[in-house]
Amino acid sequence: MKKLGVATKAIHSDFLKKDPHGAMHMPVYDSVSFEFETAEETAKAFEGKRAGHVYSRITNPTVENFEQKIKNISSGFGVLAVSSGMAAISNLILAIAGSGDNIITTKHLFGNTLSLFERTLKSWGLEVKYADLTNPNSLSDIIDSNTRAVFLEPITNPQLEIVDMKALSKITKKHNILLIADTTITPPYLFDSKEFGVDVEVISSTKYISGGATSIGGVIIDNGTFEWKYNPKLAEDAKKIGPFALISKLRNEVYRNLGACLSPHNAYLQSIGLETLTLRADKSCSNTLVLAKYLEDNSKIDCVHYPGLESSNYFDIAKKQFPNGAGALMTFDLSSIEECFKFMNKLSLIRRATNLNDNKTLILHPGSTIFCEFSKEQKDEMGIRDTMIRLAVGIEDVEDLIFDIEQALIPKNGM
Within 10 angstroms of residue 283's Cβ, the number of other Cβ atoms is 20
- Give the per-residue contact string, 189-218, with ligand PLP (x = CB under 6 A; - = no): ---------------x-xx--------x-x
Least distance between ligand PLP and beta carbon 61 (Å) = 23
Least distance between ligand PLP and beta carbon 260 (Å) = 10
Torsion of CA 187, 318, 112, 94, to 10 degrees: 60
Q: What are phi and psi of 136, to 5 degrees?
A: -55, -30
Cβ atoms of 125 and 153 within 8 Å: the answer is: no
Q: Which of residues 157-196 bind ligand PLP (CB under 6 A)?
A: 157, 182, 184
- Give the per-residue contact string, 28-67, with ligand PLP (x = CB under 6 A; - = no): ----------------------------------------
- Give the per-residue contact string, 86-125, with ligand PLP (x = CB under 6 A; - = no): x-----------------------x-xx------------
Q: What are phi and psi of 185, to 5 degrees?
A: -90, -5
Q: How many residues bind ligand PLP (CB under 6 A)?
A: 15
Instruction: Quote the DSSP letter at residue 120.
Output: I
Least distance between ligand PLP and beta carbon 220 (Å) = 12
358: contact with ligand PLP by CB under 6 A: no
Which residue's CB is nearer to ligand PLP, number 250 or number 334?
A: 250
> What residue type is 272 in one-letter code?
I
Q: How many residues does the chain have?
A: 415
Task: Give the β-pairing of 218-222 and 78-82.
Answer: antiparallel
The correct pick among 61, 85, 154, 327 for binding ligand PLP (CB under 6 A) is: 85
Torsion of CA 261, 12, 246, 116, to 10 degrees: -50
Q: Which of residues 230-289 bind ligand PLP (CB under 6 A)?
A: none
| Start-end of H helices in 324-367 | 337-346
Binding interface with ligand PLP (CB under 6 A): 84-86, 110, 112-113, 153, 157, 182, 184, 204, 206-207, 216, 218
